[in-house]
Amino acid sequence: MPGTGPAPAEIMIVGEAPGFSEDVQGAPFVGPAGRLLDTLLGQIGLSREQVFITNVLKCRPPQNRDPMPNEAEACLPYLRRQFALVRPKAVLILGRHALERMLPGVGTISRVHGRVFMRSGVAFIPCYHPAAALHNSGLLADLQQDFDHARGYLDELLAGPAPEVAAETGPPATEPEREPEQLPLIP
């Protein structure tokens, strides 16, 4: 199941792996987690038709188990190619498995969610996985905040350089974190 959405697209969303519903329908995030994702996107003024949605793994792991490192490794060339075609300005990384593959070594999802990591001019923003918020409703507010944060970053980015007057009023709401480290997606 490769993914859905326009290419190019300003925003790319990367989850973990297709689940049962995704496998049946051949589209990402169409089950309960997908419905929450649609709501979250709607809350920041986006529809799923405007963003490219995919997963690290292109096939559903048997019995819905966690992805194995060699499986993620095998699928990485597809994700890399998608990234090259979509040319996103921002990538929302959903959940700890996608985070481990896409920004290895930056820290746990609970520590870095909502932060902006710049890699070769692209903003990578880890967020809690919608499925995690369905299991633990305490994470929902954090997840909404992560999406709000991403929206704020995109608004700043799309608005271009801040006018001088605005610059004097203080730092932007989202201060991108710049790290020199190589990202597996960017050659």
Q: Which residues of the chain form contacts with ligand URA (CB under 6 A)?
A: 15-19, 22, 28-29, 33, 55, 131
Which C-beta is closer to ligand URA: that of 17 or that of 79?
Answer: 17
Q: Tell me how far, at minimum, the Cβ of 28 lies from ligand URA, in Å.
A: 4
Say if CB 116 and CB 177 are below 8 A apart.
yes
Which C-beta is closer to ligand URA: that of 9 or that of 174?
Answer: 9
Q: Tell me how far, at minimum, the Cβ of 185 lies from ligand URA, in Å.
A: 17
Q: What is the enclosing helix (H) or strand (E) of 36?
A: helix 32-43
Which C-beta is closer to ligand URA: that of 30 or that of 174?
Answer: 30
Handedness of CA 83, 89, 94, 98 (dihedral sign): positive
SS3 content of the chain, % helix, strand, coil (to 5): 45, 15, 40
Q: Tell me how far, at minimum, the Cβ of 55 lies from ligand URA, in Å.
A: 5
Sequence-ordered list of residues with C-beta below 8 angstroms from that of 50, at least 6 positions apart, any chain? 5, 6, 9, 10, 11
When CB distances to ligand URA are compared, the closest residue is: 15
* DSSP label of 93: E
Which C-beta is closer to ligand URA: that of 133 or that of 174?
Answer: 133
Q: Tell me how far, at minimum, the Cβ of 100 lies from ligand URA, in Å.
A: 13
Which C-beta is closer to ligand URA: that of 142 or that of 155?
Answer: 142
Burial class (CB within 10 angstroms; exposed 0-12, middle 13-18, buried 19+) of 140: middle
Q: Tell me how far, at minimum, the Cβ of 17 lies from ligand URA, in Å.
A: 6
Phi, psi angles (nearest 5°) of residue 77: -60, -35
